[in-house]
Amino acid sequence: MAKQPELDDFRVPYFDDGKKSIKFSLEAFDPAAKPFSTGSKDSDRARLSEIGAKLDTLQECLHAQQQRRVLLVLQGMDTSGKDGTIRAVFHDVDPLGLRIVPFKAPTPVELAHDFLWRVHAQAPAAGELTIFNRSHYEDLLVPTVLGNLDAEAFERRCCHIRQFESLLADSGTTIVKCMLHISKEEQRQRLQARIDDPSKHWKFDVSDLEARKQWDKYQAAYRDALDATSTDYAPWYVVPADSKTHRNVMVAELLLRTFEALKLEYPPAKESLKGIKVE
């Protein structure tokens, strides 16, 4: 009997003091796979709605406690569905205590500081679930592909990222990082759909085509970045994302497991409110 897939089957092996027992290979993950699909798009959407209701309650507990923090990092190639994942997974979640941070190219002011300066300022506060739509990993991946970051500088930034994420974890932040993994053909179809539909032209930039020409370099950069920055306190998960509904369900399942592990509860009832009647 075939083994049922588990979320940890898609976790990138941990980085531990510069040594790994397993060499990570991004090519080992099929972008078209749907291991956590419930059978159809309709049933996947039903499962997503079920998880959304649970996340809504758990997020309210997180916000009410004002103690823990949760950071969800979404990375992926253009059209991998970072925006779509956020819309689908958090559709039913109360926005109170939920914050979405999109990272674009650094501004001149941001470039005048270290590469993590702008990121640390956006880290979740107590009681917050913060979602990074792209993240500090852009400052690792893009300059590597463009040839502006050599191997030594790459390793140095990976070390800084591990230390930064360790600081967040030590300060009460639970970190989950998802690489939305799509195929080159699926990206071609999604980019073409944006070009063919005038209502989606705002989502398309000609620079997307230039980045697509560097597909193999980006895949190699992602492989090396994930390999060097997946830790026990900030693990990476590879999410097969050719199927949008599967992508959404898997990210939701990961987040639900993360929240349930925190064993969140509402704060104790206030004895001072007993017997009070509102006239």
Residues 47, 64: Cα–Cα separation, whole Å: 26
Between the two ends of the chain, the Cα-to-Cα distance in Å is 64
The continuous run of DSSP H or E covering 99 comes out as strand 98-102
Task: For the chain, give the number of residues.
Answer: 279
Three-class DSSP category at 246: helix
Q: Check: CB of residue 137 under 8 Å from CB of residue 162.
A: no
What are the tokens at 7? Answer: 């979320």
pLDDT tens digit string along 239-258?
Answer: 999 999 999 999 999 999 99
For the question of whether the overall pTM of this predicted structure is more than 0.85, the answer is yes
Model pLDDT, residue 208 = 87
What are the tokens at 268? Answer: 């104790």
Q: What share of the chain is helix, strand, coil (3-state, %, to 5)?
A: 50, 15, 40
Domains defined for the chain, CATH in brackets: 45-263 (3.40.50.300)
What are the tokens at 127? Answer: 């009681």
Task: Kindly give, in sequence order, each residue whose CB lies less than 8 Å from that of residue 17, ignoring residues fewer than 6 positions away.
Answer: none
Three-class DSSP category at 114: coil
pLDDT tens digit string along 132-188?
Answer: 999 999 999 999 999 999 999 999 999 999 999 999 999 999 999 999 999 999 999
